[in-house]
């Protein structure tokens, strides 16, 4: 089964990194540079998983998490943050308390990402042969 995955992050290099990692996996990728763009995509596409940064211009990740959970309760959320070591942990704890299903601090390795995505998708993120 193809997993529809939305990446919401204002850092184009981070979005490209995720795309490079996930290219060998059964995912259809969508991307947005802020929460408003991400919510527009959610209105149009049947997204299964959202990977969202927390600190972004316009609509930031915490606001987006609240809105996604209210409007799209079946969508799983992986919140990521690189806002400094202390700040990152604080933001990730807030994201979890607001309803993010998984959290992850930047930088992270590929195995950690895939492990968390598998938790969110019942082990459907395996490399395509």
Domain extent for 39: 3-118
Residue 127 lies in a domain: no
At residue 34 the predicted structure's pLDDT band, cuts being 50, 70 and 90, is very high
Residues 84-99: pLDDT tens digits? 556 678 899 999 999 9
| Mean pLDDT of the 98-109 span | 94
Residue 29 lies in a domain: yes
Residue 24 lies in a domain: yes
| Number of domains observed in the structure of the chain | 1
| Mean pLDDT of the 21-29 span | 95
| Mean pLDDT of the 63-73 span | 97
Q: Considering the chain, what is the average pLDDT of its residues?
A: 92
Residue in 70, 76, 72, 53 with CA at minimum distance from that of residue 124: 76
pTM of the model: 0.93
Residue 60 belongs to domain with CATH number: 3.40.50.2300
Residue 66 lies in a domain: yes
């Amino acid at each position: 089964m193809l997993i529809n995955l939305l990446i919401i992050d204002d850092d184009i290099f981070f979005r490209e990194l995720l795309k490079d990692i996930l290219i060998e996996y059964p995912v259809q990728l969508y991307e947005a540079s802020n929460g408003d763009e991400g919510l527009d995509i959610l209105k149009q596409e049947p997204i299964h998983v959202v990977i969202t940064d927390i600190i972004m211009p316009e609509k930031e990740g915490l606001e987006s998490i609240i809105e996604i959970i209210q409007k799209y309760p079946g969508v799983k959320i992986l919140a990521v943050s690189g806002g400094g070591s202390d700040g990152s942990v604080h933001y990730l704890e807030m994201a979890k308390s607001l309803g993010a299903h998984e959290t992850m601090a930047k930088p992270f390795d590929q195995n950690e990402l895939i492990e968390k995505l598998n938790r969110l998708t019942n082990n459907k993120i395996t490399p395509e042969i």
